[in-house]
Homo-oligomer: A and B are copies of this chain.
Amino acid sequence: MAIIVHKYGGTSVGTPEKIKNVARRVKQVREGGDDVVVIVSAMGHTTDELIDLMNKVTDYPDPREYDMLVSTGEQVSAALLAMALQAMGCPAISLTGGQAGVVTEDIYKKARIKHIHLDRVKAEIKQGRAVVITGFQGIDSKGDIITIGRGGSDTSAVAIAAALQAKVCDIYTDVDGVYTTDPRIVSDARKLEHISYEEMLELASLGAQVLHPRSVECASLYDIVIHLRSSTKDIPGTLIMSAKAIAKQGGSKMEKKEAVRGIALDENIAKVGILKVPDKPGIAAKLFGALASESINVDMIVQSIHSKGAMADMAFTVDKPDLKKAVQAVEKVAKELKAEGTLSDADVCKVSLVGIGMVSQPGTAAKMFDSLSREKINIQMISTSEIKVSCVIKKEQGKKAVQILHKAFGLA
């Protein structure tokens, strides 16, 4: 008798009928003799509807009240799922993040989970109940409701799976696995049987929006296998696990040993720059310190030295919704540092190649730049790591770039 953790996203619980479908699936697992803990997101567009209401009463929502507001979405779906299970004769109980013992940092909207006290969850399991927990939220030390960022239900699920020492966390969603790239962009994109945490992490944080990157990070930390699968079709999805475990299973033999395993497109970024700053120590610290204190996540950073004089340009990318705040912060710093100016551009996107094999196959980046230049796609920023190469290009050329690269690297 094992503990199975399921997570269902907003689309999977979008209507009462879909909630009943989920209940049937959960009941099946219970009948198979295993214990089940289910983490749910808010129904369909509930969160967006709540945010619409919010925008009608304020232009500057307080993060604490934001969390208070949107956390109700998961509470509704958790209660409904528990009731649907009970209606099918399966004992069940719903718990808020706080009731389930999910304790977070005291940071509204973007907190990380600090620890999970599972006493209540374990007691309910012992009573023979399926436990339904609201994803995306916990409480802080003051007892305030804290959300862990949008898409954070995946992270809740993995963290709870880890705390429960479950081996696998089944994440049910409206896609049936991880593909070499977005099938809506490239029609012959291929579903991957396995993918390593590291690769998935890059793909997820690069905009393959099937799984929240923090959930993958958390899974790799505690060695939880994530099974990303369809909530409607009963077919295997993609297993996200350690590269070592994949190799053991012969997974890397079973698939082609390609350097590039996936291509991601992120259209939700914006570029910000600070121009001609006197180049002296402490500038980067000052700039990115200012951004960090506003809780703005900075992704790619490129610094270039002007040839004449010790002046530097610095450019970086942020999530598009953070652009306004980022520009304000940068303008303030630019004034202090006596920089010549700033720039911002929301009309960009990021295309990335990801694959653990890239580290042993030099030339991947060169091939990428070549493929793009042949199609007259201008590269604005480049960033590389051991397992990925990313290029910022014009937004309108993003999809085309993905198609070209998917073909060039033989992923079909």
Contacts and interface: CB of A to CB of B under 8 A. Distances in A.
A82 to B, nearest CB: 5
Nearest to A80: B57
Contact of A94 (B68, B79, B87): B68
Interface string A69-94: 10110011011111110110000011
Interface string A36-59: 000000000000001001101111
A83 B58 CA distance: 6
B69 A57 contact: no
Contacts of A68: 75, 78-79, 82, 94, 96
A144 interface: yes
Interface in A244-274: none
A206 to B, nearest CB: 33
Interface in A74-120: 75-76, 78-84, 86-87, 93-94, 96, 98-99, 120
Contact of A54 (B58, B60, B80): B80
A15 to B, nearest CB: 8
Nearest to A144: B99
Max chain B C-beta neighbours (<10 A), residue from A57, A71, A80, A120: A57
A62 interface: yes
Given A57-B16, A64-B93, A93-B64, A76 B84 contact: no
A53 B96 CA distance: 19
A81 B62 CA distance: 12
Interface residues of A, number: 42
Nearest to A139: B99
B99 A143 contact: yes
Contacts of A56: 16-17
Nearest to A84: B57
Contact of A16 (B19, B53, B65, B93): B53
B72 A76 contact: yes
A20 B57 contact: yes
A41 to B, nearest CB: 15
Contacts of A23: 57
Identify which of A16, A62, A94, A98 gathers the most chain B CB atoms within 10 Å of its CB.
Answer: A62
Contact of A76 (B69, B87, B98): B69
**Main secondary structure on A side of the interface with B:** helix
Given A65-B79, A65-B82, A87 B59 contact: yes
A83 B78 CA distance: 26
Given A75-B69, A144-B99, A62 B83 contact: yes
A73 to B, nearest CB: 8
A96 B120 CA distance: 21
A246 B86 CA distance: 52
A61 interface: yes
A56 to B, nearest CB: 3
Nearest to A59: B87
Nearest to A88: B58
Contacts of A59: 87
Contacts of A96: 68, 145
Nearest to A17: B56
B87 A60 contact: yes
A362 to B, nearest CB: 54
Interface of A: 16-17, 19-20, 23, 50, 53-54, 56-62, 64-66, 68-69, 71-72, 75-76, 78-84, 86-87, 93-94, 96, 98-99, 120, 143-145
Nearest 5 interchain pairs by C-beta? A16-B56, A69-B79, A72-B72, A58-B87, A68-B79
7 contacts: A50-B76, A58-B83, A59-B87, A61-B83, A69-B79, A71-B75, A98-B143
